[in-house]
Chains A and B, each alone.
Chain A
Amino acid sequence: MLKMSDPVLKVEGLKTSFFTDDGEVPAVGGIDFEVKEGEILGIVGESGCGKSVTSLSIMGLLPSPPGKIVGGHIYYQGEDISHAKESKMRKLRGNEIAMIFQEPMTSLNPVFTIGEQLEEAIKLHNQRLPKKEIENRSVELLKRVGLPRAKELLKEYPHELSGGMRQRVMIAIAMSCNPKVLIADEPTTALDVTIQAQILDLMIKLNKETNTAIIMITHDLGVVAQMCQRVVVMYAGKIVEEGPVKDIFNHPKHPYTEGLIQSIPDLHGKKERLYTIKGSVPKPGSITKGCLFAPRCEFVMDKCRVNTPELSGGEHKSRCFLHQEQGRKEVRT
């Protein structure tokens, strides 16, 4: 039995690349992080930072070819699953590690009923459960994710449901076997803000009830701030900062994190000119030397263009020379 503080999932030096006609394109360039039991961890970053590829690597769902894990380890409850056999991964998927996706409109199979898709998930990992029992559990799950008319819903098709309801069904499917880890890849990005609030609320509730750890992958710092205990900030395939949510928002130790926080317009208070990070995200593999953020960084120093900083620090780590050497608490005052 694991202790409360032990990580249920641990990623070590994970490197994932895509092998295209133009050669190897690194999508994830060596990342380390861990998720403790019952914790909500945020992985935040802009498009192309490698956050989705990370989640697919954990699930063993990389489109392969062209995607491939080229280095590092993924430990689930102490066991390395980075190169586990497909049959082993099938037992983990849905049962121990479940996943929900960004597009609730297309993530359910349009030609099967909600019941068929939910019951399938239960049956896959509980072969001997009687039919009646599976149905009861499906109804129970649909109720638990806050769907009305659970019994009738089992016979309906996805197109008869709204986006928010479909995402609830996806969550019901993911939670059907009481997984230890739930990976949520931008689960509310496609939803309207009032529906997003409902779904986030539901996820927090389920996290408290079942103690399932959640990896929340998102580009929305608001979602991270309101939901997560710890956060990993990714940029161009690497982790640039990691730590408790409050520390990161209150005292960011990387100019990129700082820039991201500053670029969001406020809902209240004085309207100021928005802070901008100049330029745009580099193409994967285009920067081979120095800090990946150096070309866009306001505080860039000569060494940043030559040497690659390491991720370092205690609980609150960052990958930036500025902080490591000067020990500055904040980039900007």
Chain B
Amino acid sequence: MFYYSVKRILMLIPVLLGMTLIVFAIIHAIPGNPALTILGTKASPEAVRQLNQSLGLDNPWYVQYFSYLKDILTGDLGTSIQTHAPIASEIWPHLAATIELSFVAMIIAIVVGINAGIISAWKQNSVFDYTAMILALIGVSMPVFWLGLLEQWGFSIKLGWLPSIGRDDIRNGVDPITNLYLIDTLLQGRLDQFWMVIRHMILPSIALATIPTAIIARMTRSSMLEVLKSDYIRTAKAKGQRMVWIVYKYALKNAFIPILTVIGLQTGLLLGGAILTETIFGWPGVGLYIYNAIQYRDYPVIQSGILIIAFIFVMVNFIVDLLYGLIDPRIKYK
């Protein structure tokens, strides 16, 4: 297990480097001169040249790349054109909002998806199986923004049960400590606010969880169907073991590798791709942050946002890789 982890960590280095190189290249490939963007189209050629020089934009690309890499490694993500604030400190509250929402959504997706998949496989061709799989099909094909709008219309506007927008009530805002509101409210002992935060999370997290739930359920079902047919399940039955135990302990652990892969991919997608949900529910996450930056052509912010999302994606997959080794003893020997 130790060598396996070390090997995985070493393999991470070229991936991360490649990632920064790609982000760097994309921004460079975008037509237009950053100096012109900053100074405006009417700037004199002299001013543009001076700004280029002071920004280091007249250096060869690899010099620019290495200075960019150095900045990232020292935690300097640059300055936002729009707000003139350092991006590194500005982005964290947004990131925290996204992480919190995605985390809750993934918990819902994992619990509901895996259980639905297991029961569908166990009771194959039952009413439950058919219903669950039709719902899963609807789940993967339903556009998120449509589901979000339906939720808002139903539960906020018609029934008035849940808030439709934001992380907290405007008049009863949470004092950020970590910016993870569920933790912050608990640290401050504000159970009323904790409950408020949860109420705010319900609709967006369900909207966000729909697709992962459906995908996880389908993957769990097919993986479990395969495993339940295997010889060692028959062996467990022949020992006199209970079916519930066999399914949840024996079969699930064997079926888990493909499920874990899907969970990893979906988590990465949620963390990066929640722009639609965040926009609809006014959730101040990274998605919304980047969305606004795009509207303002705030290139440093876009660049940093993409970099962070890519970084999270890589890290989630790294963790998944480590978990493979824990679940299946055969993997670390390959």
Contact = CB atoms under 8 A, between A and B. Distances in A.
Asked whether any CB of A lies within 8 Å of a CB of B in the complex, the reply is yes
A273 to B, nearest CB: 39
A173 B239 contact: yes
A181 interface: no
B328 A120 contact: no
A120 B235 contact: no
A106 B241 CA distance: 18
A109 B239 contact: no
A84 interface: no
Contact of A110 (B234, B237, B328): B328
Contacts of B239: 93-94, 120-121, 124, 173
B329 A94 contact: no
Interface string A132-153: 0000000000000000000000
Interface in B213-264: 230-232, 234-243, 250, 253-254
Given A110-B330, A111-B327, A111-B329, A90 B235 contact: no
B240 A95 contact: yes
Contacts, number: 69
The 3 closest A-B pairs by CB, nearest first: A94-B240, A93-B240, A94-B239
A170 B235 CA distance: 9
9 contacts: A61-B237, A90-B242, A93-B239, A110-B328, A110-B329, A112-B250, A124-B241, A157-B329, A173-B235
A91 B240 contact: yes
B232 A106 contact: yes
Contacts of A108: 232, 235
B72 to A, nearest CB: 39
Interface stretch (A96-104, A192-200, A223-231): A96-104
Interface of A: 59, 61, 86, 89-95, 98-99, 101, 103, 106-112, 120-121, 124-125, 157, 159, 170, 173-174
Given A111-B254, A157-B330, A159-B330, A106 B238 contact: no
A61 B235 CA distance: 10
Nearest to A101: B231
B254 A110 contact: yes
A91 B239 CA distance: 9
Nearest to B239: A94
Contacts of B235: 101, 107-109, 170, 173
A92 B231 CA distance: 20
Contact of A107 (B232, B241, B253, B333): B232
Given A93-B238, A101-B234, 16 more contacts: A90-B240, A93-B239, A94-B239, A95-B240, A107-B235, A109-B235, A109-B254, A110-B254, A110-B328, A110-B329, A110-B330, A111-B327, A120-B239, A159-B333, A173-B239, A174-B238
A124 B237 contact: no
Contacts of B329: 110-111, 157, 159
A2 to B, nearest CB: 22
Contacts of B237: 61, 93
Contacts of A92: 240
Contact of B238 (A94, A110, A112, A159): A94
Contacts of B236: 109
A120 B250 CA distance: 11
A2 B27 CA distance: 86
A120 B234 contact: no
B252 to A, nearest CB: 10
A19 B7 CA distance: 52
B241 A90 contact: yes
Contacts of A91: 240
Nearest to B232: A109
